[in-house]
Amino acid sequence: MKRNIFIVALEDKQKAMLETLRQSKELEIHGLLTVDTAVEAKKFSFNEVLESAREELASYPGTVDAIIAQWDFPTSVLVPILCKEYGIPSPSVTSLAANSECNT
């Protein structure tokens, strides 16, 4: 059975690269939100983007086995929230904030 991997703001080029992984036949890669919605929005509301991601995941008929961020904020914060809701291991939002403070 394939594992369903959701990647926030996945672009075609990244999806093509992921399909070259040795284990790619065991994975079903899905985009979660568009780049325009999650990364390049002219007007941004974190709560609206989070709710859109929740709706996409809830409407998916299969399992949600992993949620991955490939961009910085806001996807780096969306992923820990969504992973917690789906029981998927992930760094916490607090750990991301603590890491950001260490890097300044």
Tell me the whole-structure pTM to 2 decimals. 0.74
CA-based nearest residue to 51, from 82, 76, 28? 82
**CA–CA separation, 49 and 73 (whole Å):** 12
**The two structure tokens encoding residue 68:** 């991955």
Residue 98 pLDDT = 60
Rounded mean pLDDT, 41-65: 94
**CA–CA separation, 78 and 63 (whole Å):** 18
Rounded mean pLDDT, 62-83: 86
- Cβ–Cβ under 8 Å, residues 93 and 80: yes
**CA–CA separation, 85 and 45 (whole Å):** 20
- Cβ–Cβ under 8 Å, residues 57 and 6: yes
Rounded mean pLDDT, 16-35: 91
